[in-house]
Amino acid sequence: MSADEWEIIRLSLKVGAVAVMACLPIAFALAWALARGRFPGKLLLDALIHLPLVLPPVVTGWLLLLAFGPAGPAGAWLERALGITFMFRWTGAALAAAVMALPLMVRAMRLSIEAVDRRLEAAAMTLGASRWRVFRTITVPLALPGVIAGTVLGFARSLGEFGATITFVSNIPGETQTLPLAIYSALQIPGGESAVARLAIVSVVLSVAALVISEMLARRMGRGAHVL
């Protein structure tokens, strides 16, 4: 593999990791609200979160462009407040990947939070545990396999992100050109087949590795779970 190809892999992993890490607390909070909360507009929130799953990714990319572009309200605010810019930068690729991964992460986490036996939480409360302690010591550990599964799923989805990314931040080698975009570019070049094959194999290996790691982690965490 060439140095350029290693660079593509490194960038893809960076974009995926940053996207998922930034998404994790937001996804967990949203999953919690959907699983446990009772508030007006819950259905609307649910629909909004799932939008990236059903919209054409190009539309999602265009909406990101409207919101986070230099003229967009969110983009202008973030640049002023935190000095973060997205246009034609890897941070934009990470943002697009995060938005696309969010529904998958929220879904997996919501299911695992809903599966936590609330009678165990009640038992902990009779033993004198505060709500916060119950959350930390009972709810989160029991939901953890689902949280990990959701995170890995989101990471795999981030690695595969194409449509929203290319629409939002274009296809710039070394900055926004992740694996799928590089494969797409290589396909346009005569004689690029061997590069395509190499990068495709890398994609498969990374995806399988992510799934295997999540399965192993979930098993280790869930060692004592699913009883009584």
Partner 1 sequence: MSFEVAVSRMIGDTHITCSFTAKPGLTALYGPSGAGKTSILNMVSGLLKPDRGRIVVGGEVLFDSEAGTDVPVQLRRAGYVFQDARLFPHLRVRANLAYGLRQGGLMSLDDVVAFLGIGHLLDRWPRSLSGGEAQRVAIGRALLSDPRFLLMDEPLSSLDRARREEVMRTIERLRDELCLPVLYVSHERSEVERLAGTIIEI
Q: Minimum CB separation from partner 1 for residue 146, in Å?
A: 13
36 scored as a contact of partner 1 (CB under 8 A): no
- Of the candidates 138, 153, 152, the one whose C-alpha atom is nearest the C-alpha of residue 225 is 138
φ, ψ (nearest 5 deg) of residue 64: -60, -40
Amino acid at 27: A
How far apart (Å, rounded) are the C-alpha atoms in residues 192 and 83? 38
Binder of partner 1 out of 120, 172, 196, 217 (CB under 8 A): 120
For the chain, give the number of residues.
228
How far apart (Å, rounded) are the C-alpha atoms in residues 100 and 91? 14
40 scored as a contact of partner 1 (CB under 8 A): no
Q: Minimum CB separation from partner 1 for residue 1, in Å?
A: 43
Q: Which is nearer to partner 1, 67 or 120 (CB)?
A: 120
Instruction: State both tokens at 125.
Output: 């409360």
38 scored as a contact of partner 1 (CB under 8 A): no
159 scored as a contact of partner 1 (CB under 8 A): no
128 scored as a contact of partner 1 (CB under 8 A): yes
Size of interface with partner 1, in residues (CB under 8 A) = 21
Instruction: State both tokens at 100.
Output: 């696309």
80 scored as a contact of partner 1 (CB under 8 A): no
Q: Which is nearer to partner 1, 122 or 208 (CB)?
A: 122
Instruction: State both tokens at 227.
Output: 């009883």
Q: Which is nearer to partner 1, 125 or 172 (CB)?
A: 125
